[in-house]
Amino acid sequence: MNRSELTEQYLAEVKRRGVRGSDLVATPPHPPELHAYYHGRYLTRPLFLGHAEKEQLYADLANLRSALISLPDKLYGGDLAGFARAVGMTEVQVSAILRSRGSSVTHQGRADLYADASGFKLLELNLGSALGGIDNSDMCAALLAHPVLAEFAQTHRLDYVDTIREQARCLVAESGFPPGSRPVLATVDWPASYPMLEPLMRYFAVHLRALGIDPIFGHLGQLVVRDGGVWLGDRKVDIIQRVFMLEDLQENPEATALVDPLLDAAARGEVALFTPMDAELFASKGALAMLSDEANRHLFDQPQLASLDRILPWTRMVRPGPVTLEDGRRVDLLDYALGHQHDLALKPTSRHGGHGVLLGWRPDVTAAAWEEQVRAALDGRYVIQRRIRPVPELFPTDAGDPTPWIVSWGVITLRSGYGGVYARASSVESDVEILSLGTGAYSGSCLHALPPPTP
């Protein structure tokens, strides 16, 4: 069965059994301090994926990744700095990328997608270690504590990935440590945001300790480079798992003084950095615009092209001059953007979580405001992207029929492959379109169907 059929049957079973939505999430998936982090807002059911759907979705994301990481060689002759500038990186960011380039690009990522009438479409791609939703597997486990879902999952052979376990394996392997080596891992954030994330770090430390990692945590201001290593307190660190992001280097005045000693130590081989700063370079929306540009289609093989055509919406850097539309027509980008406001979004190339996004179809975005922002973005670090119209998902309630919600599917990829889904959603009634914890989104997870049993 596919996700629509699984959803329909589960909702029918919930209705038949007379179960309220609040009863389905009565077991909180986190201790109290992390329950507070999610503001106690959890979706009343998991998302569902059929086996073939899951396999196709992961294959499409793997093909997207392979196409992305080939761009510096195929378009810029291996000049990573030239590629970085072309996708919208500042000189501060370019310097950090060049000083912290990994031998290979991480497999750890989260693709945020909508599901429209034709399938999944990419909103943005996140690559690196600063990913939310790794604990989605704990949300799955908590939902499965209810007998209605547990019986449904058993009947339909549904399962989930232990994302935390697979992420730990990915982290150790990509940092160059063998299984069983028990490296000292320091999870590190900016000083200003560390107090908010410290409960999450403390929670994950319990999991990581059980998975053969020696975890500690703190902020950048607490790291000391000395005696041929990097230290956090009295502990010499083997791996830095960075929660800070490449975009933070541009937005934090203290960034250079805090980050440069760490990057220098990593370059000398005194500490492993999970993940190097080049990871987020390939997640730039400017890089997605290069994939979307028909002028580059000859660079990719047929499986890559098929995947790009399925999941990547039309995306272009905001530059003066002609562009090609999906139907092959050539148009002037500025004229087209101004004349088709209600079908387009304006997005900064290297920010995440919906920050700086302008949705042209919103009623509060006037034609004058849209034109002003689009003109200001010309030759800047912005892309124009085709609007995606998601099909709402239905969720159980405490009274009456299920209600429709708009869902962002955060599909996690790891070294081992498909890594689960971190869902964020808001009700259609709320009219919220940028889905994040800050905008009141609810959090959830996903169960996928196992392959059919062999005869």
H helices of 285-442, in order, are 285-292, 302-311, 333-339, 367-377
Tokens of 28: 């909180």
The CA-CA-CA angle for residues 307, 308, 314, to 5°, reads 150
Q: How far apart are CA 361 and CA 364, in angstroms?
A: 9
CA dist., res. 143 & res. 395, Å (int): 13
SS3 419: strand
Tokens representing residue 223 in the block: 């790291």
For the chain, list residues with pLDDT below 50: none
Position 434 scores a pLDDT of 81
Q: Determine the Cα–Cα distance for residues 413 and 126; give it in Å rounded to an integer.
A: 10
Q: Both tokens of residue 132?
A: 């939310």
Q: How far is CA 204 from CA 29, 167, 285, 410, in A?
A: 13, 11, 30, 19
Q: Give the domain ranges of the chain.
A: 3-284+391-449, 314-386
Helix or strand holding residue 34 (H, E) = helix 32-37
CB 247 within 8 A of CB 280: yes
SS3 category, 303: helix
Question: What pLDDT was estimated at residue 251?
Answer: 60
Please state the φ and ψ torsions of residue 413, each to the nearest 5 degrees: -120, 140
How far is residue 391's CA from residue 403's CA, in Å, rounded to a whole number? Answer: 13
CA distance 177 to 158: 33
* Res 373: pLDDT: 94
Place of tokens 């034609």: 367
Structural element, H or E, at residue 242: strand 239-242
DSSP assignment of 356-400 equals T-EETTSTTS-HHHHHHHHHHHTTSSEEEEE---PPPEEE--SSS
Contact 351, 359 (CB under 8 A): no
Phi, psi angles (nearest 5°) of residue 148: -65, -50
Q: What is the pLDDT of residue 353?
A: 61
- Cα angle: 452, vertex 309, 446; to 5 degrees: 40
Q: Using one digit for the tens of pLDDT, what is the confidence trace for 418-439?
A: 999 999 999 999 888 788 888 8
Alpha carbon 214 to chain centroid distance? Answer: 26
Rounded Cα distance, 247 and 353, in Å:
12
